[in-house]
């Protein structure tokens, strides 16, 4: 029993709070406290020290690898075994050789991940466009630094960045690399942290440098003028969308659409795909095409194979006889990753804090950081030159009496008294005296001393110039601009990703053909409810049902495949087909268009126009007396897009929208009791959808264009009284017999 009691006492332990407990025993703890104590430090470490890049464009793993290679002399020397580099990097990055080598692979020229690789590689480093092509082991490959790395380490020894201890305090390493160009936008970077991620696309080096220069000269510079879009190492096409691009440049979030590049070989009746989107791989494309062929959705292909070789990527598609290659590629773009999206999330560490920034903000932060680097370099140079100047001024004092200096040294009995005696004899300080004392006997002559002291004036001028630069924002900007120009000239290269400005997404024509077509009657209510009723159902139905307070706006004969243009109060147009709506009945309310089309909050239906074959035009009439005649074809797209922004002008409130197949006579009514009759032929069609139009009615102060109607529906009897051959027209006062209300009065008798 005594022994058992003793063992129990030995297991007792006192924790940091002074509470006695048994080793191995459990204690209750709130889950929130556990997360805060144990998980939060891990999460912050992943965010700050692993997954998110910093303003120099590198994660810590990249920086440690490149700095190790720099210290190994691999910027100017020959290649060495990758295994050697990996081993030495572990003194800065203790995360295992596999992780370090994977980092090197991604930075290597052979892998083709980056537009401007930082590692000059020899051997098999795999390919970014291949999922299954494995890279060789580090013992088989060799590497050194690419010449562009000189821009990463320029002036790193001039105190441009902070140096800190490595994990075991045996070495120093930089917190950032003093890159002379905005590498954060030039090098693609992806990282997944805890609760956040980062995905930065690559931009063309020359375009980025030009944009940075332009913004430094003019903060209001339009970035899109010098930076039209990203540039990817795998090439392909970028489908340009100005609104999307501006949103990404502004917010740092959004998606760019990419498309593969191909050409048709007539001799072999085959298609060769040579460049694919950066966000996919050749194996994924091959698997998807095989899946579609097996499912019977693609019947035009007889064979597809991967013919990638040393010359680069090549996917070959053998076509069956009579197949149109353009139509097939449009179909493949729609159904496979041959057209894909790159989702942007410009999340960057700024002063240790993760921030999602737009392109302009990133360049602003980089410029501020680079300015600080240049200031530190100049200050370091000033200190070095001042130290040298201080020594030379001490040497200059000796010129007054060289014999005296020799006599002091010769007559001093003790070695440690030489410096104090020189200090007393010439009135110089200890540093200057040490410098004089260390001069070789052969150099203690007038010629040598004059030659050395002649540099004093030059040093003083250089120091003054450096101080002027240090205190001048304009000169500091010019220094950075000159560096950017040199980098762009030396390392700039043509774009690899071609921009398609007029590209449209390919609509699924095959799907249109499968939609059944039959006559229907369309009913639209004033509050935006739509009913599509077949002829048979209409014959059997009774009175049309509407929501309380709602009524019929208009009805029209159409077919199931008819396309509708739904214009809203927020200057947008939604495209839809009647086939997207279920056949209804008169007793039902119908589909609520704002909900069915996914409109924005507060958005309501202004007018619905039948597009037909996109002939004719849409007429917009505004309260300010203007009218815009826009061809119906302006709303025709080859895409399956449902939402068109900027559908009409927002400069004045809308009075009415009319869809017209041909020119007709219109009756216009103003709020001050005037009316005018004009012909739409007097209006010239406008090519842009959001045109403000032209004035059709001259309005008096506070009057507005209140309504418009086709002449035959207006009820105007004396047409010649209101007709005008020119526009704008003031119109004439509306007489009671020509008022549209008279028809209602007569009908009520």
Is 364 among the domain residues? Answer: no
Does 675 lie in the same domain as 567? Answer: no
Residues 6 or more apart from 142 whose CB is under 8 A from it?
79, 80, 81, 82, 121, 122, 123
Domain termination site, one of 119, 154, 179: 179
pLDDT in the model for residue 490: 95
Is 715 among the domain residues? Answer: yes
Q: What backbone torsions phi and psi does residue 532 show, to the nearest 5 degrees?
A: -115, 115
pLDDT in the model for residue 706: 87
Does 444 lie in the same domain as 405? Answer: yes
What 8-state DSSP symbol labels residue 602?
T
pTM for the structure as a whole: 0.66
pLDDT in the model for residue 742: 54
Is 244 among the domain residues? Answer: no
Is 246 among the domain residues? Answer: no
Domain termination site, one of 436, 458, 491: 491
CATH number at residue 279: 3.30.1360.40
Is 298 among the domain residues? Answer: yes
Which residues in the chain land under pLDDT 70? 1-26, 503-515, 638-641, 741-749
pLDDT in the model for residue 538: 81
pLDDT in the model for residue 731: 84
Does 706 lie in the same domain as 626? Answer: yes
pLDDT in the model for residue 143: 97
CATH number at residue 147: 3.90.199.10
Q: What is the residue range of 67's domain?
A: 52-179
User: Could you tell me if 146 and 449 are in contact, meaning their C-beta atoms sit under 8 angstroms apart?
Assistant: no
Alpha carbon distance 614, 392 (integer Å): 86
The Cβ of residue 554 has, within 10 Å, a number of other Cβ atoms equal to 11
User: Could you tell me if 361 and 219 are in contact, meaning their C-beta atoms sit under 8 angstroms apart?
Assistant: no
Does 618 lie in the same domain as 601? Answer: no
Does 626 lie in the same domain as 530? Answer: no
Is 281 among the domain residues? Answer: yes
User: Could you tell me if 477 and 483 are in contact, meaning their C-beta atoms sit under 8 angstroms apart?
Assistant: no
pLDDT in the model for residue 227: 96
CATH number at residue 672: 2.120.10.90
Structural domain count, the chain: 6
Q: How much is the mean pLDDT over the chain?
A: 87
What 8-state DSSP symbol labels residue 50?
I
The catalytic position among 101, 129, 135, 140 is 140
Is 125 among the domain residues? Answer: yes
Does 119 lie in the same domain as 145? Answer: yes
User: Could you tell me if 239 and 258 are in contact, meaning their C-beta atoms sit under 8 angstroms apart?
Assistant: yes
The dihedral built from the CA positions of residue 381, 382, 383 and 387, taken in this order, carries a sign that is positive
Listing DSSP states for 483-511 in one string gives HHHHHHHHH----SSEEESS--PPP-HHH
Does 736 lie in the same domain as 620? Answer: yes
135 an active-site residue?
Answer: no
- For residue 418, give the H/E element and its range: helix 418-426
Is 184 among the domain residues? Answer: no
């Amino acid at each position: 029993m005594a022994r058992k009691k003793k063992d129990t006492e030995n297991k007792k332990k006192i924790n940091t709070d002074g509470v006695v407990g048994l080793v191995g025993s459990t204690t209750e703890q709130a889950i929130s406290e556990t997360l805060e104590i144990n998980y939060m430090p891990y999460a912050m470490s992943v965010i700050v020290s692993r997954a998110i890049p910093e303003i120099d464009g590198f994660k810590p793993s990249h920086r440690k690898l490149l700095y190790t290679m720099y210290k190994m002399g691999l910027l100017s020397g020959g290649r060495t075994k990758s295994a050697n580099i990996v081993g030495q990097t572990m003194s800065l990055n203790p995360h295992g050789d596999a992780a370090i080598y994977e980092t090197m692979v991604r930075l290597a020229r052979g892998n083709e991940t980056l537009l401007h690789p930082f590692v000059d590689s020899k051997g098999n480093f795999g390919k970014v466009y291949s999922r299954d092509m494995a890279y060789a082991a580090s013992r088989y490959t060799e590497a050194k630094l690419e010449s562009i790395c000189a821009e990463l380490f320029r002036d790193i020894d001039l105190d441009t960045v902070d140096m800190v201890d490595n994990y075991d305090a045996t070495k120093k390493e930089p917190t950032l690399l003093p890159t002379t160009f905005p590498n954060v936008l030039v090098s693609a970077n992806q990282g997944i942290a805890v609760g956040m991620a980062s995905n930065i696309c690559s931009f063309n080096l020359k375009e980025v440098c030009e944009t940075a220069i332009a913004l430094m000269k003019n903060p209001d510079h339009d970035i899109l003028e010098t930076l039209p879009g990203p540039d990817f190492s795998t090439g392909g096409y970028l489908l340009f969308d100005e609104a999307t691009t501006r949103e990404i440049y502004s917010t740092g979030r959004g998606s760019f659409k990419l498309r593969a590049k191909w050409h048709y070989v007539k001799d072999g009746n085959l298609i060769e795909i040579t460049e694919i989107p950066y966000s996919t791989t050749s194996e994924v494309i091959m698997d998807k095409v095989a899946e579609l062929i097996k499912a019977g959705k693609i019947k035009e292909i007889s064979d597809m194979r991967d013919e990638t070789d040393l010359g680069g990527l090549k996917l070959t598609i053998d076509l069956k006889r009579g197949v149109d290659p353009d139509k097939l590629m449009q179909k493949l773009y729609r159904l496979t990753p041959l057209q894909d999206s790159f989702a942007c999330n410009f999340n960057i560490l700024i002063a240790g804090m993760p921030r999602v920034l737009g392109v302009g903000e990133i360049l602003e932060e980089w410029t501020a950081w680079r300015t600080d680097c240049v200031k530190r370099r100049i200050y370091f140079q000033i200190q070095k030159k001042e130290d040298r100047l201080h020594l030379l001024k001490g040497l200059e004092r000796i010129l007054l009496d060289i014999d005296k200096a020799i006599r002091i040294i010769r007559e001093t009995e003790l070695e440690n008294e030489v410096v104090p005696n020189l200090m007393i004899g010439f009135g110089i300080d200890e540093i200057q005296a040490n410098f004089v004392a260390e001069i070789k006997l052969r150099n203690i002559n007038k010629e040598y001393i004059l030659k050395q002291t002649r540099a004093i004036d030059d040093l003083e001028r250089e120091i003054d110039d450096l101080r002027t630069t240090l205190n001048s924002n304009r000169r500091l900007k010019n220094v950075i601009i000159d560096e950017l120009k040199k980098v762009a000239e030396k390392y700039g290269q043509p774009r690899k990703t071609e921009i398609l400005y007029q590209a449209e997404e390919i609509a699924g024509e095959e799907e249109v053909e499968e939609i059944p077509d039959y006559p229907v009657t369309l009913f639209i209510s004033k509050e935006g409810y739509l009913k599509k009723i077949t002829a048979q159902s209409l014959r059997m139905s009774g009175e049309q049902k509407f929501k309380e307070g709602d009524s019929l706006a208009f009805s029209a004969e159409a077919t199931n495949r008819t396309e509708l243009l739904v214009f809203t109060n927020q200057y947008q147009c939604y495209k839809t087909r009647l086939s997207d709506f279920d056949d209804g009945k008169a007793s039902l309310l119908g589909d609520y268009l704002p909900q069915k089309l996914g409109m924005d909050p507060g958005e309501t239906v202004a007018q619905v126009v039948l597009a037909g074959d996109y002939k004719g035009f849409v007429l917009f009439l505004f309260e300010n007396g203007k009218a815009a005649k826009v061809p119906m074809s302006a709303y025709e797209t080859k895409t399956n897009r449902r939402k068109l922004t900027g559908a009409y002008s927002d400069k004045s409130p809308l009075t009415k929208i009319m869809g017209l197949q041909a020119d007709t006579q219109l009756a216009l009514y103003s709020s001050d009791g005037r009316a005018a009759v004009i012909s739409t032929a007097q209006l010239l069609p406008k090519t842009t959808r959001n045109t403000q139009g032209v004035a059709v009615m001259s309005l008096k102060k506070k009057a507005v264009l209140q309504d418009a109607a086709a002449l035959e529906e207006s009820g105007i009897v004396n047409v010649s009284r209101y007709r005008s051959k020119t526009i704008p027209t003031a119109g004439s006062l509306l007489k009671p017999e020509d008022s549209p209300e008279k028809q209602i009065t007569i009908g009520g008798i």
